[in-house]
Structure 1
Amino acid sequence: MLNWLIEPLSFEFMRGAIITAILLGILCAVVGNYLIVQRMGILGDVIAHAVLPGLAIAFFLGIDIFLGAFICGTLSTFVIAWIQSQSRIKVDVAMALVFSGFLALGIMLVTLLKSKLDLHEFLFGDILSVTTDDVKRTVIITAVVLVLIKLFYKELLFYTFDPLGAQASGLPVNLIHFALNGAITLTIVASMQTVGVVLVVSLLIGPGITAYLLVKELHQMMQLGAVIGVFSSITGMYISYYLNVPSGAAIVLVVSILFLLALFFSPTQGIFTRPEMTHRSARLFSQFKSQNPK
């Protein structure tokens, strides 16, 4: 058993991949909770696909593609906010439009600029190819985002649950809004190499929504979600190593299984274990016993 756990760690690429996966498991779980609470889970998917034009342009210009991805992802959130503020269009419709528009622009730019960007890696990730610089960048992004969330937790909590009240109390809600979107974009950019844009939303939402079924407070959701994210990342990496399957898909599959377990067996909200279901089962059993006496 010990050799089974230690063997993957003998390879440097696996050590870097596991460290990156652990950091992103924490970061995605914490940041994703704000999307869950605001019922904006689809925003993660929008930003994840909106970074493609930035990747194509950055690759063509020979600059850091992650910088291009961050700029373009952030721009997409500004466009959504602008459409919403300048019209009667609802935010979900604006997000759908931006999603398709930015994705189409990215595909066109990849073709027109004759970019050699690996779309397969962009879509599905390749955590085993992370370099030392990638690990350092992930450490910095994780540390910066988590420290800022810790410092401004009360303001973020107030804004998340009552944006109108936060605005009335004098909080800079626009700044908070775009700061949160910036944190989400950074998280997605950092996660692209791990699971790719197709699966990144699952890593953002899965651990948090699983924790939501088990605890009540936001800070508890963040803590438990981080634990779930770390466990899923490590387990997924080991599954990937021993079964020779894509790492990103393995990580997300573990996240999905844990969510289903919580959905079915959560002590308070589980389909099979919530109080009303337990009482109903007991009542049905009692009726059965009365109708079928020994």
Structure 2
Amino acid sequence: MSPLDLLLEPLTYDFMVRALVTIVVASVVCAVLSCWLVLIGWSLMGDAVSHAVLPGVVLAYVVGAPFALGAVVFGVLAVVLIGFVRDTSRVKEDAAIGIVFTSLFALGLVLVSVTPSQTDLNHIVFGNLLGVSGTDLVQIGGLGAVVLTVLLVRRRDLTLYAFDPMHAHAIGISPRRLGALLLGLLALTAVVALQAVGVVLVVAMLIVPGATAYLLTDRFSRMLLIAPSLSAACGVVGLYVSYYADTASGATIVLTQGVVFALVHLFGPQRGVVTTRLTRRRLRTPTP
């Protein structure tokens, strides 16, 4: 079988075409948002919100409401509860995040187990990339477009908030509102990625691309190009690997992102561990 046949054979199936479009959209949206999450230091918050939306998604399914609505409601609820626990007890923020998101995630698992459904709601937890329908694809594309549009329109304010929230406040920009905006976008992005990789692995798509790009450049504008490009490429490669290796598609895609991060961490041109050591050794070696 020629390389061209290997490339084109999966695309003869409609479910693979829908899966390919879905993972590209989800990868790009998650990667762009991840650039801000990494800079602000919201990796753990991304984990919390992505898991906390599970009960909202299940309840939205029960009442026939849009998944995005349930996700945003429970994403905001998670943030409010984290702040309440942190401000009214001796518990620190990281512990409050762990308590709230695990509790809400457990609630979501309970709701999944007791909700009568003709659809296997476990796909929300573990993802069902190959089962994306045309309706799902429209919802994913619509939510992805909304998130990307808001991020691009407000990118200057959000970037200032990430680097210097005190300066943002001094010039009349509300850091609290920008933080709330990011949290709302985070909840919507979690819904976009749910179908692809499930709640369990969403946090990887929200953190790994931005962290990888952060190791490759010092300029934020370049991060916004590198992160989605690498993420989309990993999504496509992971999907093809899962097709031919007969493995779980979502897990394979996230594993591909992890491998790329490891390679960049070790062999990156500027900050790679191996590259840096070789450069230092070369500089120490006397010229004959």
TM-score exceeds 0.5: yes
SS of the residue corresponding to residue 274 of structure 2 reads coil
Q: Paired residue for 1:142?
A: 144
Counterpart check, 1:18 vs 2:20:
yes
Q: In the aligned structure 1, how far is the partner of 2:87 from the partner of 2:161? A: 18
Report percent identity of matched pairs. Answer: 36
Q: Note closer, same or farther for the CA distance 1:151–1:214 as it changes in structure 2 (3 Å cut).
A: same
Amino acid across the alignment from 1:273: T
Q: Paired residue for 1:272?
A: 274
Q: How does 1:59-98 map to 2 (within 5 A)?
A: 59-85=61-87, 89-98=91-100
Q: Paired residue for 2:195?
A: 193
Q: Paired residue for 1:246?
A: 248
Q: Paired residue for 1:261?
A: 263
Deviation at 1:113, TM superposition (A): 5.3
Q: In the aligned structure 2, how far is the partner of 1:42 from the partner of 1:119? A: 25
For 2:157, which of 138, 155, 158 is the aligned residue? 155
TM-score, normalisation: structure 2: 0.91
Q: Note closer, same or farther for the CA distance 1:156–1:247 as it changes in structure 2 (3 Å cut).
A: same
CA offsets, 1:133-172, max 9 Å, x none? Answer: 2111122122221121121111111111111221222112
Q: How does 1:81-230 map to 2 (within 5 A)?
A: 81-85=83-87, 89-110=91-112, 118=120, 120-230=122-232
Deviation at 1:88, TM superposition (A): 6.0
Which stretch shows the higher mean deviation, 74-83 or 35-44?
74-83
Q: Note closer, same or farther for the CA distance 1:177–1:169 as it changes in structure 2 (3 Å cut).
A: same
Deviation at 1:211, TM superposition (A): 1.0
Q: Conserved in 1, the CA contact under 8 Å of 2:52 and 2:75?
A: yes
For 1:36, which of 35, 38, 43 is the aligned residue? 38
Deviation at 1:70, TM superposition (A): 2.9
Deviation at 1:128, TM superposition (A): 0.7
Amino acid across the alignment from 2:236: I
Q: Note closer, same or farther for the CA distance 1:166–1:85 as it changes in structure 2 (3 Å cut).
A: farther
CA offsets, 1:111-137, max 9 Å, x none? Answer: 565667745312220111111121111
Q: In the aligned structure 1, how far is the partner of 2:143 from the partner of 2:56? A: 19
Q: Paired residue for 1:4?
A: 6
Deviation at 1:280, TM superposition (A): 2.6
Q: Conserved in 2, the CA contact under 8 Å of 1:53 and 1:72?
A: yes
Q: Note closer, same or farther for the CA distance 1:66–1:144 as it changes in structure 2 (3 Å cut).
A: closer
Q: In the aligned structure 2, how far is the partner of 1:134 from the partner of 1:115? A: 17
Q: In the aligned structure 1, how far is the partner of 2:133 from the partner of 2:6? A: 24
Q: Conserved in 1, the CA contact under 8 Å of 2:216 and 2:271?
A: yes
Q: In the aligned structure 2, how far is the partner of 1:268 from the partner of 1:68? A: 43
Q: In the aligned structure 1, how far is the partner of 2:243 from the partner of 2:194? A: 20
Amino acid across the alignment from 1:54: G
Q: Conserved in 2, the CA contact under 8 Å of 1:23 and 1:142?
A: yes
CA offsets, 1:215-249, max 9 Å, x none? Answer: 11112112100100110011011111111111101
Amino acid across the alignment from 1:272: V
Q: Paired residue for 2:234?
A: 232
Which stretch shows the higher mean deviation, 75-84 or 243-252?
75-84
Q: Note closer, same or farther for the CA distance 1:64–1:140 as it changes in structure 2 (3 Å cut).
A: closer
Amino acid across the alignment from 2:280: H
Deviation at 1:203, TM superposition (A): 1.1
Deviation at 1:82, TM superposition (A): 4.0
Q: Conserved in 1, the CA contact under 8 Å of 2:112 and 2:122?
A: no
CA offsets, 1:238-280, max 9 Å, x none? Answer: 1111111111011111101111110111111001112x54223
Q: Cα RMSD (Å) of the superposition?
A: 2.2
User: Who wins on radius of gyration, i.e. which is larger?
Assistant: 1
Which stretch shows the higher mean deviation, 70-79 or 207-216?
70-79
Q: In the aligned structure 2, how far is the partner of 1:112 from the partner of 1:209? A: 38
Count of aligned residue pairs for this structure pair: 286
TM-score, normalisation: structure 1: 0.89
